[in-house]
Amino acid sequence: MSTPASGADLTLDGVTVGYSGGGPIARRRATTVILADLHLRARAGRLTVLLGGNGSGKSTLLRSVAGLQPLLAGTVSLGDARLDRLSPPERAARVAVVLTESFDPGLLRGADVVDLGRYPHRRRGSAAVDSQAVHEALAAVHAQDLARVPLVRMSDGQRQRVMIARALAQEPALLLLDEPTAFLDAPARLELLAVLQRIAAGRGIPVVLSSHDVELAVRSGHDAWLVGAPTSQGVPRPVTSGPVDRLSENGSIGAAFDTDAVAFDVTTGRFGLRPPAAD
């Protein structure tokens, strides 16, 4: 399987995401801004973790970057290419997305699902090339033994590996994943992050995944985009970026996630209960 051109960073310049109030059905609704004026970069060859609490806008941001919903403002670029200007077929050849939405797999086996990732390349490829791409994608996530297993018989972790292999079979220049560790136990989450980091480094592409598991991200030590806590009513949440350990040390993670009852401990990289207030 050919390796996509490496070295192309993902860049967000002045990006605002949310939901437009236009259209005949939603004409009376106001535009809803979720995150505004974002200037972010995900480096090629690196894993970037998008952190934030439930309902903070992580999925909306990923879907907007992927072109699954329109930007409200700004540009999204992969190297010199404007992703927000590509046609759906052009985008499918460059960007692979793994979402949390489930689907009915019918009688599809692991290799059948991974082969779906070859669709953008059908016209210029061959059956032999497609077969090799499927084999290598399964091997990249250590799922060769799942090739003939029906998806309905797989565990959550096995199914997640197959879905990532399907994305890799697209030979993408950018891989986006929405909460890929959500249904996995702690060892499986760590292993999956290691697999994704190897994919990013080996293929020279940016890999961006969303997660609410801050402790896992801190232990893994990757780059991060951090969606902060609301500052005031009607004002979009701030988004900061940088190495996750720096965001931990400078208090950004605590500011985003601490509550009256729970606080993030920089020394341990974990959350803990605050001591009860003295009477």
Instruction: Give the model confidence (pLDDT) of 178-211 as tens digits.
Output: 999 887 888 888 888 999 999 999 999 999 999 9
Res. 230 pLDDT band, cuts 50 70 90: confident
Res. 12 pLDDT band, cuts 50 70 90: very high
Rg (CA), the chain: 20
Produce one character per residue of 59-78: b if its CB has 16 or more CB atoms within 10 Å, e if not.
bbbbbbbbbbeebbebebbb
Q: What is the CATH number for 220?
A: 3.40.50.300
In a domain, 110, yes or no: no
Question: In Å, how far are 35, 78, 82, 83, 193 from 87, measured between CA atoms?
Answer: 24, 14, 11, 9, 31
Enclosing H/E stretch for 253: helix 252-257
Res. 1 pLDDT band, cuts 50 70 90: very low
pLDDT of 100: 78
Enclosing H/E stretch for 237: none
**In angstroms, how far is CA 12 from the centroid of its own chain?**
14
pLDDT of 56: 93
What tokens does 272 get?
Answer: 């803990």
- Average model confidence (pLDDT) across the chain: 89
pLDDT of 3: 42
Q: Is the pLDDT of residue 107 over 70?
A: yes
pLDDT of 93: 87
Q: How many domains does the chain have?
A: 1
Res. 129 pLDDT band, cuts 50 70 90: confident
Produce one character per residue of 86-115: b if its CB has 16 or more CB atoms within 10 Å, e if not.
beeeebbbbbbbbbeeeeebeebbbbbbbb
Angle at 35 between CA 50 and CA 64, to 5 degrees: 70
- Mean pLDDT, range 90-111, rounded to an integer: 86
Phi-psi sector, 117: left (phi>0), alpha (psi -120 to 50), beta: alpha
Question: Whole-angstrom Cα distance, residue 49 to residue 69?
Answer: 21
In a domain, 100, yes or no: yes
Strand order through the sheet with 223-227: 95-98, 174-178, 207-211, 47-51, 223-227, 239-243
| Beta carbons of 18 and 33 less than 8 angstroms apart | yes
In a domain, 73, yes or no: yes
> Which domain range does residue 211 map to?
10-104+177-273
Question: Whole-angstrom Cα distance, residue 253 to residue 214?
Answer: 8
In a domain, 119, yes or no: no
pLDDT of 29: 66
SS3 47: strand
- Mean pLDDT, range 213-224, rounded to an integer: 91
Question: Whole-angstrom Cα distance, residue 67 to residue 174?
Answer: 12
In a domain, 21, yes or no: yes
In a domain, 152, yes or no: no
Res. 135 pLDDT band, cuts 50 70 90: very high
In a domain, 171, yes or no: no
Phi, psi of 151, rounded to the nearest 5 degrees: -60, -35
In a domain, 33, yes or no: yes
Res. 138 pLDDT band, cuts 50 70 90: very high
pLDDT of 125: 58
